[in-house]
Structures are given as structure tokens and as C-alpha cells.
């Protein structure tokens, strides 16, 4: 049973207005010389996590899907942005410096698993002591190992974690498969191996097979994009020319690119074939990446959400669905804003706790 939303359209306008104010207040002139800087990727992550949160609220928490529409229509794009940026970041880092497989795993796997384990421990304890929900030991152990073969929003401990298994598999493969002299071949091999593993999994991944099919292409494409930016290429030349355009021309191009983004975000192919939905989603991701590359303004609010996007992703749905106190007692627009603030606060606390534990161990 969804949360009843009074005046969903008005509430959506108020949330949108608050976001617009946050964007304007946090906006600063962009001075980055790098074509695809770490700050820019964090802003894209911020956009992605907001898109996912709004979608989960608008389509799976609220009983009226008018609430947060059209902010709620890009969850699939958000997931693809995360995977695209993961592929890009790992490849760009691997091209810049040499690391052994052991060094790679020691660097990246703790960053994946430590927040996951904290989130799982938190929700297992809350579910048991507050809601009197328990899970069998096989399910618990499988979850702590990072294997989530189902994505039921209402029965799984944290259904968005289906994404973790796919991302974890990419991270396991990357240092083994990556060929520094042939990143393009590495991207092809990783896609081929993940697709083969999905096909050979039998019925083990039936519950998430479509989700995997819709999002497997984004990570290898991120790898290819990093490769094109690592050396002189037509893509890099085009980006350089676009970034050097006059301000008026850049604004005009951004406005023009927003038209297909809005069109394909709405006519997203959801409910159609996997190829259709995946292709449209990847197209929207590509257009958004291009918009962010040529924009002349940095948005602090997106950067902030991007910094803590992973922790927020791990935490947001169980809090919204099983532990909601705000939508039941406050106007929907105010509850949404307070939840966004709360997610940032909880994510910051989780990150701080992990840093404190790491500092304690290093002494």
C-alpha cells in the first residue's frame, strides 16, 4: 500500500522549486581545464542518485505517480550513469598508473564492502529489534558476500543492492582482464564475460536477469570513453572544440541537447524490448555527459550528493519503505526535502565512522 500524497502536483512543484533554489545558490563558474574532471563525474553521480531516489519515491512509495513526475522518470539512466562512471574511472586510473591485481583489490574492494556491511548490519538489527523481521542465515551470509540474486522492493532487506553484485563482478574482472595497450579490447572482453556469465547462470539470476541486461553495457562504454580521452582522438578533439565555443553558443547547444534528453527520458522504451530500453537509456546518458562537459557552471549541491552517492544508494530505500516517519506525518514536499537532507547526514556519519576506524587501525 503506497503512501497517500495530498496535492501531488503542487507538492512536486514545491520540491522542484527547492531543488532549483539549491542549484542556483550552489552554482559557481566552472574553471576546470580537464575535459572530464573528477568534480564533473561527482556532479553526474549526484544527478544519478537524485534520479534514483525520486523514482523510488514517485513510483514505488507514493500511491499517486503524479508525485515527483517528471523528476521520477530516470532511475534506469541513473544506474547507467553510475556504471558508466565506474568503468571510466577505473580505466582512467589504470591508464595513468600501474597497479598489480592485489593492489587494485586492496584499494577498491574495501571501499565497496565496508559501507555495504555497515548498511546490512544496521538494517538487520533494526528489522529484528524494531519490526521483528528476521532473515535466514543463508540469506544473511549471501548478502554479506555481496550476492543479491533478487530485487523485490518489499521483501528483500535492501532491494537496490542487486546493483552491487553486478558492479562487484566488474571490479573482480577488471584488473585481470584490463590490457593497458588495448583498453578497447578490455572493454569488449569484460562485456563478453559478464554476458556469458549471465547466460550460463541458469535460473540463479532469473529475478534480476532483465535488470542486468538493461545495464551491462554502461560499464564497458565508460571504459571506451576513458580510452578515447587518454590520447588524441576524434572524440577528444570534438570535446575540446565544444568547450572552447563562445558562451552564447554553448548555452544554445546545451538547450538544444536538453530537448532529446527530455524526450527520451519520457519515451524511455520501458516495457519494450531490452535492446530498445537499453539503447534509449545509454543515449540519454551520452547526452547528459556531453551537457555536463560543455556547461560553464559547477553545481555544489550535485557535487555534494555525488560525494555521498554510494552510501545514500545503500541506505535510502529501507529507510523510505520500512522506517518512514516523515511522509506519514508531514506534507509530501517537506518530507522529501527533509529525507534528502537526512540521507546526506547519515551518509556523512557512515563515511566519518569508516575513516575513524581506518585511522584507528593505522596507528
The stretch 185-196 carries a mean pLDDT of: 96
Angle between helices 162-177 and 101-129 in degrees, nearest 10? 170
Bond prior to 70 in cis (omega within 30° of 0): yes
- Percent of the chain beyond pLDDT 70? 99
The stretch 291-295 carries a mean pLDDT of: 92
- Is residue 363's pLDDT more than 90? no
Query: What pLDDT, in 10s, does the model give residues 106-156?
Result: 999 999 999 999 999 999 999 999 999 999 999 999 999 999 999 999 999
Separation in Å, CA 54 to CA 69, 328, 336: 9, 17, 9
The stretch 156-180 carries a mean pLDDT of: 96
- Is residue 242's pLDDT more than 90? no
**Residue 134 contacts residue 127 (beta carbons within 8 Å):** yes
The stretch 260-273 carries a mean pLDDT of: 94
Backbone angles phi, psi at 133, to 5 degrees: -105, 130
Question: What pLDDT was estimated at residue 16?
Answer: 98
Contacts of 280 (CB under 8 A, 6+ apart): 264, 267, 268, 269
Three-state DSSP at 343 gives helix
In the structure, what pLDDT confidence band is assigned to residue 34 with cuts at 50, 70 and 90? confident
The stretch 251-256 carries a mean pLDDT of: 92
Instruction: Share the mean pLDDT of the chain.
Output: 94
Question: What pLDDT was estimated at residue 351?
Answer: 94
Higher pLDDT, 195 or 202: 195
* Continuous H helices in 231-331: 234-243, 247-266, 274-294, 300-307, 309-322
Query: What pLDDT, in 10s, does the model give residues 327-345?
Result: 999 999 999 999 999 999 9
The stretch 339-354 carries a mean pLDDT of: 96
| Residue ranges per structural domain of the chain | 8-109+124-362
- Is residue 25's pLDDT more than 90? yes
Question: What pLDDT was estimated at residue 222?
Answer: 98
Pairwise CA distance, residues 335 & 327, whole Å: 5
Amino acid at each position: 500500500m503506497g503512501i497517500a500524497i495530498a496535492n501531488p502536483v503542487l507538492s512536486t512543484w514545491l520540491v522542484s522549486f527547492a531543488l532549483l533554489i539549491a542549484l542556483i545558490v550552489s552554482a559557481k563558474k566552472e574553471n576546470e581545464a580537464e575535459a572530464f574532471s573528477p568534480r564533473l563525474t561527482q556532479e553526474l553521480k549526484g544527478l544519478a542518485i537524485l534520479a534514483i531516489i525520486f523514482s523510488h519515491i514517485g513510483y514505488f512509495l507514493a500511491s499517486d505517480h503524479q508525485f515527483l513526475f517528471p523528476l521520477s522518470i530516470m532511475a534506469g539512466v541513473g544506474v547507467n550513469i553510475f556504471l558508466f562512471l565506474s568503468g571510466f574511472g577505473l580505466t582512467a586510473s589504470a591508464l595513468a598508473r600501474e597497479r598489480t591485481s592485489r593492489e587494485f583489490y586492496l584499494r577498491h574492494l574495501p571501499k565497496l564492502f565496508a559501507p555495504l556491511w555497515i548498511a546490512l548490519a544496521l538494517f538487520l538489527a533494526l528489522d529484528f529489534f524494531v519490526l521483528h523481521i528476521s532473515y535466514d542465515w543463508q540469506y544473511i551470509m549471501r548478502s554479506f558476500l555481496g550476492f543479491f540474486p533478487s530485487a523485490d522492493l518489499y521483501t528483500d532487506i535492501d532491494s537496490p543492492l542487486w546493483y552491487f553484485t553486478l558492479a562487484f563482478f566488474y571490479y573482480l574482472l577488471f584488473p585481470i582482464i584490463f590490457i593497458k595497450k588495448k583498453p578497447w579490447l578490455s572493454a569488449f572482453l569484460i562485456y563478453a564475460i559478464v554476458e556469458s556469465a549471465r547466460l550460463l547462470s541458469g535460473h540463479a539470476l532469473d529475478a534480476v536477469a532483465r535488470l542486468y541486461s538493461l545495464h551491462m553495457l554502461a560499464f564497458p562504454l565508460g571504459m571506451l570513453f576513458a580510452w578515447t580521452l587518454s590520447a588524441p582522438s576524434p572524440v577528444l578533439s570534438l570535446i575540446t572544440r565544444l568547450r572552447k565555443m563562445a558562451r552564447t553558443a554553448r548555452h544554445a547547444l546545451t538547450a538544444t541537447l536538453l530537448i532529446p534528453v527530455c524526450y527520451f527520458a519520457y519515451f524511455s522504451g520501458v516495457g519494450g524490448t531490452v535492446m530498445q530500453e537499453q539503447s534509449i537509456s545509454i543515449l540519454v546518458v551520452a547526452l547528459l555527459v556531453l551537457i555536463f562537459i560543455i556547461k560553464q557552471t559547477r553545481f555544489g549541491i550535485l557535487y555534494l550528493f555525488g560525494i555521498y552517492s554510494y552510501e545514500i544508494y545503500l541506505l535510502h530505500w529501507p529507510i523510505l519503505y520500512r522506517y518512514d516517519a516523515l511522509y506519514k506525518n508531514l506534507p509530501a514536499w517537506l518530507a522529501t526535502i527533509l529525507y534528502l537532507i537526512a540521507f546526506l547526514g547519515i551518509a556523512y556519519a557512515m563515511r566519518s565512522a569508516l575513516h575513524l576506524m581506518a585511522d584507528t587501525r593505522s596507528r
